[in-house]
Structure 1
Amino acid sequence: MAGWAEYGYCASPSRFFWGLRLYLVCTPTGIPILGALANPKLDEREVLQAMFDVEKDLIAGWPGLLLISDKGFASKEFENDLAMRGIVLLRPSFKREKKRAESAGTSQRTSPSCEAHQHFAGARTEPPTEPASKSARATEQ
């Protein structure tokens, strides 16, 4: 690791660190499907593009993939690259942007919603129902 590690900066605690960055692409339930360790000075968009280049078959197996990210992945070039791969990017808007109801290359009518992508990992939009209590089951019998 000593040959790969570099100094990086993490904005959330406003600190520098020595090491590598871990990049994960996960299903909505949190199961990792892609992962990489990278030099912290590399652009995160470049790392993700390289991950998708290496795992072309995996990405091709999930048509209409919805990638949910933070604002750090904002880039017209990056969004166009993802669109060419058949991946839709969903990220928050910057204050200077219009509200992002759609992603690059899609329209409001055809823009996939989170509900349309539930089949990827069995994600739910409603909380699970509570099991019936023992006393309620006893009165039913």
Structure 2
Amino acid sequence: MSPWSKLRYIRSMRALRRQLEDAAPRGHIVETSPVLFQFPSAGRAYGPDLFVADEAAFDADGRHADAAALSLVAEFTSVSTKDADWDEELNVYGLIVPAYLVVDMQGSEITCFSDPSPHGYRSRTTVSFGEDLRVPAPFDCTLDTSGF
């Protein structure tokens, strides 16, 4: 997403954040703050729209947090970032991040990728806004997307 979200995205971001706060692994925080995570496999850092990460990752000085601290990343698509969310970031996150949510604001659906591997995610589930979405371990929760 561009640095400045469309106003209509805020409600969806808040709804997702609230639900994930209840299901986040112990010691992990849910944030929408602009933070860069370093992905050595990609040779660069990414700043997800929403993330869940081990709070200890933010004890260090520096500009980049370690991507290994992430338990979930969510990207909210926009016309200008949709390709990166579905291609580049999917490939990078799929090597290490346990869960990746693509909130497709143009298509009114949400996809959960999970089970990362050296070849990318092994599992994918897509539902339309308004349907429940199951997010597997380490969250083991069902998201209510009716507020998206």
* More helix, by proportion: 1
Calculate the TM-score normalised by the size of structure 2. Answer: 0.35
Larger radius of gyration: 1
The structure whose RCO (Cα within 8 Å, separation 6+) is larger is 2
TM-score by length of 1: 0.36
